[in-house]
Structures are given as structure tokens and as C-alpha cells.
Structure 1
Amino acid sequence: MSDVTQHLSRPLAITILVSAACLFAANHVAARVAFDDGTGVLLAILTRGSIAFLMMVSLVIAQRHRLAIPPGKRRWQLMLGVMIAGQSLCLYSAVARIPVAVALLLVNTWPILYALLTWVLGGRRPTVRLTAIMVVILIGLIMVLDLGTWLSDPTAMGPDWLPGVVLAEAAALFFAVAIWVTENRLSRLPGAVRSVFTMMTVLALMATGGLLGILPGGLDLPQSQSGWVALASLAALYGTASTVLFVLVPRLNMTRNAPVMNLEPVASLLFGFVILGQVLAPVQLVGGAVVLGGIVWLSLMRKA
């Protein structure tokens, strides 16, 4: 059977990708609810990671893969796990400080960092078109971050604004490095096996950080029923979305349909407004549209 006949119909594939993007967005909104109720960031990552780990192990068993990393790939697999742990920690820490949509827009700039990283490590130099896209996205980010207001009166944006922005961009950098390692050093490793070991590393690092008290309050429990519900929800939402994507990616024709996943910040904006009451200024909304347009443009160009 050819690859074309194995693909799901485009309407169904897009529906699945839209659903996954909404599940990921809802996961971040649930995380913010949990953090506002006193839940520790490390606890949230451990809860989410445990569910995802169990689902990935089930996939490995179902697909009868051998749980082993070739000797020459072990350091790269460890590095991948460390990068995903850093990305998870920084992203959730950013979500706890700034509007969810702003955090996700910043994190979704990882393709720019990936292109620059690839160039620095001896890969292809960014083209004029790619440079133009980067400039467009950066202009949009300036609008999203409302830097004019922040520069004129930093207190107007709140004390956590700058740390939140830095953490979100750090998450983008961690993810860019993780993608580079995956595509350039671990591409031949079965995805399910790679995911299991990655999640094992994340869980081990988060548990160690919690036990050593590296992040004060990292393992704090929710203070009310709503916090517990949010904690359970973020784990279920993330685990479901990641597992569905992992199982169905070969049939979703990602070469053509991947840009649909950029709906996540838009969905987070809607969920953030309805559930959290987070509202962005008009200039930030316009900037968000510019950033998303640039990211979709970049995605389409990379797949060309």
C-alpha cells in the first residue's frame, strides 16, 4: 500500500490536528488554573509526564519494540531528555507568570532558533526569504509583548512580565535544540522508544529537583478542589493529545498539514479569555496575528 493511500482524508486529518492543538492549549490553561491554586510547577510536570510515560510504554509494548538505546546514541538521548525537561519547566514557569497566549506565541518561535542553530552547527545558511520571515515574526513579537508600554512604564506590565518572557523564549530554545538532536542524531531510533527514554529522563530530573528543593514550592499540592481538577485535567489533556498525535502522525500527511498545529496559541487565547479572563490589548492581538502568519509561512516554506 502506498503512503498516499495510507493517509487519512485531509478533512479528517485537519480535524484531528485542530483537536490536538486545542487539547494542548487547554492543557496550558489548566496548568495556569493549577498554578494559581498553589500547585508546584515540578508537581505539574511530574503528573503530566507520568501519564504520558505510561501511554508511551503501552505503545512500545503494543508495537513490540525493544527498549534499548544503541551505545553511540545514549548521550544524545540523554541530551534530548534534558532539553525536553528544560522546555517543560520553562514553559510551565512562563505560563504561571504571563498570559498563556503570549507564552505560547513566544515558544512557537522555535523554528527561527532551529534555523539559526542549524546554520551555526554547519548546516544550511538562512536564505533571504527566511530572514524576511524572521523579521516579520520579530515585528509581530514586539507588538505582542507591547514593548512600547513596557519601556515607558515597566511596572504597568506587572513584576512577572520580564521573567515570564525570558522563560518562554528559553523554552523555545530548549525545544529547538531538542528538535535538532532528534532530526540529526536520533532520527533512526523508533519514536516510541525515544519518547519513553525522553520521558524517563524528564521524570527523573523533575523528581530529583523536587527532592533536593532546587525549585522552592515545586512540589506544592493544590489548595482546593479546583486545583486538583486542573492538575488531573492538564495530565489527561497532554497525555491524550501527545498519544493521539504519536499514533496517527504517519497517516496525517504532516508535510502538508503541519501548519494547522499553529492554531494552539489562538485556541489558548480563546480559552484564556473564557476560563481565566485574560485579555490582550488590540495591538497585541494584531501582533499575534502577524506572528502566527509568519510561523505558518515558515512552516510552509520548510515543507516545500
Structure 2
Amino acid sequence: MTAPAATQTTPALFSRHIAVLILLCMGCAFAGNHIAARVAFDDGAGVLLAILMRSGGTLLVLTVLVLWQRQRLRLPPGAWRWQLLLGLLIATQSLCLYSAVARVPVALALLVANVFPILLALLTWALGGPRPTARTALLMGLILVGLVFVLDVPGRLASNSSIGPQWLLGVTLAFCAAFVFACALWITDHKLSQVRGSVRSLLTIFIVFSSVNLAGLSGALTDGLNLPATTTGWLALATLVVLYGTGFIVLFISAPRLDMPRNAPVMNIEPLVTLLLGWIVLDQLLSAGQIVGGVIVVTGIVLLTYRKSARAQ
């Protein structure tokens, strides 16, 4: 998921309690999107089909909004190749994350994928950016410790049970989603920062939609376009389209008024809501140790993000 940046003319900000309420609702919407995706996958729907419907619905609404605002799809010289790469990275992130959701408990996949702030900080440093401070390094360590418990490493070592291929593949895909998303954020900040947020969002979704179509037509992913077997699967697909589209469009419209540098950490409610919905809807319940690890991960991410936000003000 990418939140669109503010437009060039910044309107008046919402009061903080309104902004926080909107971001909480958006976090819940994105969480519900992943739960609906798992329901659809369990009913036989293909991963590519889910991404195709999600990106297609969002693209349609974004196109109407951009045309209504009479914005021109113009990029600075040399920016097109970075815009194309950004779209392909977001498409890859969506594919990896949905594939992880189809294989492991949804909350576990989201918690692993949400370590992207660590990867972004390390990537920025590796590419010539500032070195992480001691406090940032400590928070990264805290997040990794929490992740050890989320993955139930102590329990798996104690039981001497073999790790199933689906579990291993699911966790690996979630890590890949985190890494790819970190790369996408780096490109957004360092190569496309001068591009109008609405234009960048529309082009990114268009590239995602187009690349998923090509992948489906080429047969690159076996069973990627499989249809759901029952009405339940179709309802789940419709739900994920509505939830993701609503969340993305509301952020698209409201981002300039939400004071994102200050309030963005609120969005980290998503994996916790996913844990609750996963238990209620899917009967997926993590162990006590995994829940504690999840709280540690989310707390570390919030502190890491909040520190960057405070410095940016």
C-alpha cells in the first residue's frame, strides 16, 4: 500500500482528533481488505485475480478524480523510468503480500511485512543517506526481537518440529513484500518527490493493473486468475475491492489535510486489527508469545516512525 503525497497547494489541516479518526478507519479498512482476501483465496480465488480487481476498481475511481480535477499527467525529464519501476515494485509488493496472506495467518504476514521501516533505513544508509542513530538501531533491535516471537522461533526450536514449506514460503514472501515496499518508498522520496502526488498515485495504480494483466495473460503464475468456487468468494473479492479502494481514495483526497508527518504512526493499528479480525472471521489465533511479539513489533515501528516524523516537522 502507498499513501499519496500532498498536492502542491496544501489546504487547511483537519484537527488532530479528526485526522487520527480518519487514519484509524483507514487502518481498519486495509486490515479488512487482507482478511477478505484470505476468505477469497480459501474459496479458490487466484492471487492475480484479487490484485486485478483491487487495482482496477481503484484505477477507475482515481481516473475520474484526476480528470475532474483537470490534472495533466506530466512528469519531469528522466522521471518516467523511475515511475515505471515504482509501479512494478508496488505490483510485486502486492503479489508477495497477497501470496503470503494465502499461506500463513494474515496477522503474521502483516507483522512481517510491516518491518519495512527497518529495511528503508538500512537501504537509505547503503545508498549514501544518513547512518542510523544509536536510538534507531536500538528500535530496530527491539522490532527484530518482537519478530522472533511473532514467528514463534522459540516454540519451533523447542518442539523440534519441521517447518512446513507453506509456512516458510509465506514468511519469505512477506519479507520480500517488506523489502520491495522499502525500495518503492526510497524511489518515491529520492527520485519522484517533485511529481504531483495525485499523478504519481494514478500512474502507479495503472502500472500495477497493466502488469498484473500481462502476468495473467502470459500464464506466469499458475492458477493466478482462478475464479472463486462459491458466492462467498465473490463477496469477499467485492469486499476487498471496496475496502482497499475506499482506503486508498480517502487517503488520496485527504492526505494534504491529515498532517501525515505527525499522524502517520496511527496507521500501524492495521496489524493489530488484522489479528482481531483474523480471530473473529477466520478463527486464526496466534499464541500468547506471538501476540506479545506483535505488540513489541508495532510499538517499535510506531516509535521509529514517530521519531522520524518529529524530526521532519
Q: CA deviation at 1:155?
A: 4.9
Unaligned runs of 5+ in 2: 1-8
Q: CA deviation at 1:69?
A: 2.7
Q: TM-score, normalised by structure 1?
A: 0.96
- Are the counterparts in 1 of residues 54 and 245 from structure 2 also a CA contact under 8 Å? yes
- Between the aligned partners of 2:252 and 2:114, the Cα distance in structure 1 is 19
- Are the counterparts in 1 of residues 106 and 278 from structure 2 also a CA contact under 8 Å? yes
Which residue in 1 is equivalent to 2:309? Answer: 303
Unaligned runs of 5+ in 1: none
2:230 to 213, 224, 230: 224
1:35 to 17, 21, 41: 41
Segment drifting more, 129-138 vs 203-212:
203-212
- Between the aligned partners of 1:177 and 1:219, the Cα distance in structure 2 is 27
Counterpart secondary structure, 2:201: helix
Structure 1 segment 86-97 matched on structure 2, within 5 A: 86-97=92-103
User: Which structure shows the higher helix fraction?
Assistant: 1
Give the number of aligned pairs: 302
Structure 1 segment 252-263 matched on structure 2, within 5 A: 252-263=258-269
2:149 to 140, 143, 153: 143
Structure 1 segments of 4+ aligned residues over 6 angstroms from their partners: none
Rate the CA distance shift 1:121–1:71 in 2: closer, same or farther, 3 A: same
- Between the aligned partners of 2:276 and 2:257, the Cα distance in structure 1 is 29
Structure 1 segment 98-137 matched on structure 2, within 5 A: 98-137=104-143
Matched AA of 2:232: S
Rate the CA distance shift 1:225–1:277 in 2: closer, same or farther, 3 A: same
Matched AA of 1:140: G
- Are the counterparts in 1 of residues 113 and 174 from structure 2 also a CA contact under 8 Å? yes
- Between the aligned partners of 1:235 and 1:154, the Cα distance in structure 2 is 41
Which residue in 2 is equivalent to 1:160? Answer: 166
- Between the aligned partners of 1:103 and 1:129, the Cα distance in structure 2 is 26
2:248 to 236, 242, 258: 242
Q: CA deviation at 1:201?
A: 1.2
Matched AA of 1:7: L
Q: CA deviation at 1:151?
A: 3.5
Q: CA deviation at 1:188?
A: 1.1
Give RMSD over aligned pairs. 1.5
- Are the counterparts in 2 of residues 59 and 192 from structure 1 also a CA contact under 8 Å? no
Which residue in 1 is equivalent to 2:177? Answer: 171
2:199 to 152, 175, 193: 193
- Are the counterparts in 2 of residues 149 and 156 from structure 1 also a CA contact under 8 Å? no
Which residue in 2 is equivalent to 1:285? Answer: 291
Counterpart secondary structure, 1:61: helix
2:211 to 201, 205, 222: 205
1:251 to 257, 272, 294: 257
Q: CA deviation at 1:215?
A: 0.6
Counterpart secondary structure, 2:214: helix
Segment drifting more, 141-150 vs 153-162:
153-162
Q: CA deviation at 1:87?
A: 0.3
